[in-house]
Structure 1
Amino acid sequence: MLELNHVSYKIDKRTIIDDISLTVNPGEAISVLGPSGSGKSTLFRLMSNLLSPTEGTITLYGHPFEDIDPETLRMEVSFLLQQSDLFGTTIGENLAFPALARQDKFDKSRARKLLKKVGLGHYKLNTLVQHLSGGERQRITIARQLMYIPKVLLLDEATSALDVHNKENIETFIFELVQQGLAVVWITHDDQQSTRHFDKQWRIVDGKLQSEEVLT
């Protein structure tokens, strides 16, 4: 589905990603490990078309990224940054943003269901975001990202601010979607999380794919 073919990314004579070839299949869950500064987040920026490789190609269903409309690609491959900001003043304004970007009607019923799924069902859509904790804000960004289900979901430390209970609750929800065909690629520094539920594990070191291990 999503393929990287001998992808490199170099800037200012420095190689950040070095000749990586990988494939993400529908309904596949992949954890990504590696030391800080190893190129994991840059790899995700390449996979989400926020950066273009300086060498190699990235394709979705066999079509090179450069041949796909950027807005269409953004809907198919969704990237949740580790430090994703909230918008506006209320929870509802945040969950409405994906519909606004698509010029679509805001599905308030789905928004309320997603709030329950991420453990925030006690909040209303008009709740102000300024009083939310870091963990609650992180869960709002996850719900916002899933107002529309992409083909590939890229998560960069998406549960880093959560306690064990909420972290496992979010994992359960995400992997329910994987069972329905969503492909998830998830950067994590949590060794236990990196093997729980996942089909594969990629280890990125110094911009290279050091290992690709099948877990199931």
Structure 2
Amino acid sequence: MLELKNISFQPNDAPILSHLNLTINEGETVSIIGPSGSGKSTLLRLMADLISPTDGQCFLNGKNYISYKPEQLRQTVSYCPQTPTLFGETIFDNVSFPAKIRKEKCDIKRANYLLTAFNLSQYDLNTNVSRFSGGEKQRLAIIRQLMYVPKFLLLDEATSALDQKNQQLVEQEIFKYHQEKGLGIIWITHDIKQSTRLFSRRLTIEQGKISNEEVIK
């Protein structure tokens, strides 16, 4: 499980997160809502070990984050931002990256399956990504995260640039791994319908604190 104990993040005079406590169990699905600037993205970046808290501690399966190698932790707790950064020039450069850092061979069959599942089958692995739309970039970034299914997938407005049809396609594919492999999902969204559609719990964050917690199903 993921556990945050008394977490604060205050890089200057204004605190972004204040004494926040949160536990996410293995395989749990949690949506996060709240106004812009409330600390939601900072929370996910802390969970992903991209930044460190100014106070408090983060734990994975009872072990402090500092006891893990960064690459080990980030392969277990995988983060996808709202505005993704694509690697290299082609789709292959992106889908092969997770295998490259593991020093393994890229699973071409899986890459092509995910392209089809995410409604990108009109492209092949040699397609240049420089002219991809925002929604295509978001889908490719999620595909990159799912080439190896992590224990926890952190999504920060990861389908914000998609139309409803493609948004629901992406949701269905991601939640399939929750059902089949016990993937834990923590998803920031401003879409209230999305925040209740498939999740088991919803958190509201305001002014750096959890102001409300709801069990959905």
Give the TM-score range, shorter chain. over 0.9
Q: Which residue of 1 aligns with 2:216?
A: 215
Aligned partners of 1:3, 1:214: CA distance in 2, in Å?
A: 18
CA RMSD of aligned residues (A): 1.0
Q: Which residue of 2 aligns with 1:35?
A: 35
Q: Which residue of 2 aligns with 1:160?
A: 160
Q: Which residue of 2 aligns with 1:199?
A: 200
2:182 pairs with 1:181: yes
Q: Which residue of 1 aligns with 2:95?
A: 95
Instruction: Give CA-to-partner distance per residue, 1:38-67, whole Å, 9 cap, x none.
Output: 000111111111111111111000000011
The Cα of 1:119 is off from its aligned counterpart by 1.1
Once the two structures are superposed, the pairs formed by residues 36-185 of structure 1 within 5 Å of their partners are: 36-179=36-179, 180-185=181-186
Identity, in percent, stands at 50
Deviates more, 1:24-33 or 1:184-193: 24-33
Aligned partners of 1:123, 1:174: CA distance in 2, in Å?
A: 21
Number of residue pairs aligned between Structure 1 and Structure 2? 216
Aligned partners of 2:183, 2:121: CA distance in 1, in Å?
A: 24
Aligned partners of 1:17, 1:117: CA distance in 2, in Å?
A: 37
Q: Which residue of 2 aligns with 1:22?
A: 22
Paired letter, 1:55: D
Aligned partners of 1:134, 1:52: CA distance in 2, in Å?
A: 29
The Cα of 1:131 is off from its aligned counterpart by 3.0
Paired letter, 1:201: R
The Cα of 1:34 is off from its aligned counterpart by 0.6
The Cα of 1:12 is off from its aligned counterpart by 1.3
The Cα of 1:68 is off from its aligned counterpart by 1.0
The Cα of 1:124 is off from its aligned counterpart by 0.8
Runs of 4+ in structure 1 displaced over 4 angstroms?
none
Report the TM-score when normalising by structure 2: 0.97
Gaps of 5+ in 2: none
Aligned partners of 2:201, 2:128: CA distance in 1, in Å?
A: 39
Aligned partners of 1:106, 1:140: CA distance in 2, in Å?
A: 15
Paired letter, 1:192: K
Paired letter, 1:40: K
Report the TM-score when normalising by structure 1: 0.97
